[in-house]
Amino acid sequence: MSAHCQLTGRTPGFGNAVSHSHRRTPRRFDPNVQRKRYWLQGEGRHIRLTLSAKGIKTVDTIGVEAAVARIRARGEKV
């Protein structure tokens, strides 16, 4: 799944687009997902994470090491 945040776990939401005549067609609400590169000091290498905008702010707050620990605790490979 491409529109998936590795840190917060945000995924697309689904709903309907409602036209002026009130016809409904399926649509997707994708999270604001970016690919971001961070330096992981403990391992001496760069990592590339797929994060939502809120996930990027969380990494800025708690740090890269703690964020990677949370991602690995969820069972995702980094």
The total number of residues shown for the chain amounts to 78
Kindly report the average pLDDT of the chain as a whole number: 95
Band (2; pLDDT cuts 50, 70, 90): confident
d(CA 58, CA 1): 21
Q: pTM of the prediction?
A: 0.85
Span 13-69, pLDDT tens digits: 999 999 999 999 999 999 999 999 999 999 999 999 999 999 999 999 999 999 999
Provide the β-strand partners of residue 38.
47
Using alpha carbons, select from 73, 14, 78, 13 the residue that is nearest to residue 51.
78
